[in-house]
Chain A
Amino acid sequence: MGMLFNTPATIDIITKLNARYDGKTARGGDIVHHQKIATHGGGKARDVAAALALTPDDAKQSIATKPTTNWNQWLDFLDLHDNAKDVGKKCSETVGNAIVSALTIDNKYVIEFYAVPDCNSTGFISVDCTTVNIPSGPVLCITAYTMTFDRHKNQAH
């Protein structure tokens, strides 16, 4: 995450996401799942996440809230919101397309996920995809810029 402070739920889901696409294990089989959300209306992000076991483990969390509930709500936003950084697509379509593309090009492509709290003048949530080259090879970084709870609440009132 690159955060100064991280909670158990954050570490849990980031570990699962980045471990699944760390390039050490072929994940070509995931393409069929991600293709469902790569085309708008083809599937729900929360269903794909569940099918691939990319959900937080509530039982291990010490916080009062249910991380899985919040995670699923956030995934729903990916389905609902237009991506200002990828005109004509929902945020989940951008994510699905990027993952499918990376896995299609190279079955062991490394994909890393960043979630960035943002004031989001362009909307509630937006996503961009950047490929960076490091000594071990190219890495696809999928970065989601998300309006935070306090700002969202302020705007709603």
Chain B
Amino acid sequence: MVFNWGVGLPIFDDILPRKDVWPETAVWPRLRAEALLSRFQQRFPSIHYDIYWETRLMNAQAFIGSKGRCVRLYGGLGRHRRLGVEAIAFALAHETGHHLGGPPRHPHYSTISSEERADEWACETGLPQLFGESVARRYAERGIRQLAAVWEKYKQTLSRAPDLINAAE
């Protein structure tokens, strides 16, 4: 049986072509992702971080499950050939911000923060706590730009990037 599963609610969306991602067995992208997740896990121990590496879903996700508040990185994002460490770090900080950002809440979920608040928290709190002010600013700038280059929706975030980054100073 073949079904049209994909990103998001995994019923509707597409996965990346193989040519767009590093192979599952590529060592460097995996080490990079694991190092980032380990850093996030140590800094934000109330969140459970994990990786679903084998998939080519280009995404990351904040959700609540039996382990509590979770953040998951998907292989299509972690292995994407056009995304650097800055984009992955920003994505993980954004997802963490959904859990730790507080109000305003997401329009469809009372249990997580809104997209805008998650972005703000990533720039103001998450990335600086992890990497210090200077590196955080660079990661936010470059990360948002890299994400906008591979996904249309992030062009909205890119347009707000100067405000986000200035707010973090």
Residue ranges of A at the interface with B (Cβ–Cβ < 8 Å): 1-7, 9-11, 13-15, 18-19, 22-23, 56, 63, 65, 67, 70-71, 73-74, 85, 110, 112, 114-119, 128, 130, 132, 134, 136, 139, 141, 143, 145-153, 156
Contact = CB atoms under 8 A, between A and B. Distances in A.
Contacts of A23: 110
Nearest to B106: A2
B137 interface: no
A132 B8 contact: no
Interface in B94-117: 94-95, 98, 106, 108-112
Given A2-B98, A3-B60, A85-B66, A136 B110 contact: yes
The prevalent SS among residues of A at the interface is mixed
B13 interface: yes
Size range of the chain B interface in the assembly: 35 or more
B10 A112 contact: no
B33 interface: no
B35 interface: no
A156 B2 CA distance: 9
B28 interface: no
B56 A150 contact: yes
Contacts of A112: 64, 108-111
Nearest to B63: A114
B110 A10 contact: no
Most buried by A among B52, B94, B108: B108
> Which A-B residue pairs are the 8 nearest by beta carbons?
A149-B5, A10-B8, A2-B62, A9-B12, A114-B63, A141-B64, A128-B66, A115-B9
Interface in B31-83: 52, 54-66, 68, 72, 74, 77
A97 B11 CA distance: 23
A139 B3 CA distance: 32
B12 A10 contact: yes
Contact of A148 (B55, B60, B111): B55
B7 A152 contact: no
Nearest to A75: B11
Contacts of A114: 63-65
Nearest to A116: B63
Contacts of B68: 130
